Amino acid sequence: MEEHDILVHACCGPCSTASIERMLEEGWNPVLYFSNSNIFPEQEADKRYEALLEVARVYNLKVIREHYDHQGWLDAVKGHEGEREGGSRCELCFAYNLREASEKAKQLGFLHFTTTLTVSRFKNSKTIFRVGEAFPGFEALDFKKKGGFEKSVALSKELGIYRQHYCGCEFSRL
């Protein structure tokens, strides 16, 4: 791996658009990693993956898809199902996905990894960084900055890709 290669946990196509543009501007070589066992049902995960593939084609990037293990994710958030969005269930969810990304980065020899989760204005970047920094190689890139969220909305409209209406898990659909 080269110094600027980075494995990017990509939560969905829309959030990836602005994140990719920012990383390319900053000289990173992103490889996208779709590991989102939190998404329910599985057909919804497939739809988001398809949208990510469309984005990857536009920027000519590689996508790696991880095995979907929703039961494993449910076990990880057990006891926190009824928490409000943004609370302890979400921290455990970030930890689950970032651990997967960290392990994949290590396995493939990446020196760096990050996540597109910080684009969302509904997610606290500081919390994501606190969780991510527990894993070696995590890059704390705040993709909300520099109008990242607004840019992701505009770019995903322009590309005509699927944009979901809930965060991901069954508890965020209630």
Residues binding ligand SF4 (CB under 6 A):
38, 85, 89-90, 93, 167-169, 171-172
Cβ proximity to ligand SF4: between 5 and 83 the closer is: 83
Could you give the CA distance from residue 137 to residue 33 in angstroms, rounded to a whole number?
15
Q: How far is the CB of 156 from ligand SF4 (least distance, A)?
A: 18
Q: How far is the CB of 165 from ligand SF4 (least distance, A)?
A: 13
Bridge partners (DSSP) listed for residue 30: 6
- Sorted by sequence, the CB contacts under 8 Å of residue 46 that are 6+ apart come out as none
Q: How far is the CB of 11 from ligand SF4 (least distance, A)?
A: 9
Cβ proximity to ligand SF4: between 32 and 93 the closer is: 93
Could you give the CA distance from residue 85 to residue 122 in angstroms, rounded to a whole number?
9
Cβ proximity to ligand SF4: between 141 and 169 the closer is: 169
* Single-letter code of the amino acid located at 162: Y
Provide the residue count of the chain: 174
